[in-house]
Amino acid sequence: MSDDTGIAFSTTVIAYPKPHYALLYENGTKAHDILDSMQVNAINNFTIRFKKTIIENEDYGLYRLSINNTFGETDIHITVMPQRK
């Protein structure tokens, strides 16, 4: 079964140099079929966006967004749950 409401989320990062990022499933594999983009807002200020239009049951669960550059790394834990009706 699929859900056509989709998901979208973003985070803003202050970093120098420009960060690298990866959205991973809980088991550490790279998330697939989720569109991603990074926008430069200002010097050293970036917004990372993720979007998926059609959600399958296997898309619900825990994700880890790993963000890093030469000076450090951070992980953000994300839970995607079905919306209540």
Counting residues of the chain whose pLDDT is more than 70, the rounded percentage is: 94
Taking all residues of the chain, what is their mean pLDDT, rounded to a whole number?
Answer: 92
What pTM, to 2 d.p., does this model score? 0.88
More confident residue, 2 or 25: 25
User: In whole angstroms, what is the distance from residue 85 CA to residue 82 CA?
Assistant: 9
B/e letters for 47-85, b = 16+ CB within 10 Å, e = fewer, are ebebebeebeeebeeebbbebeeeeeeeeeeeeeeeeee
Q: What digits encode the pLDDT tens for the residues 60-85? A: 999 999 999 999 999 999 999 988 76
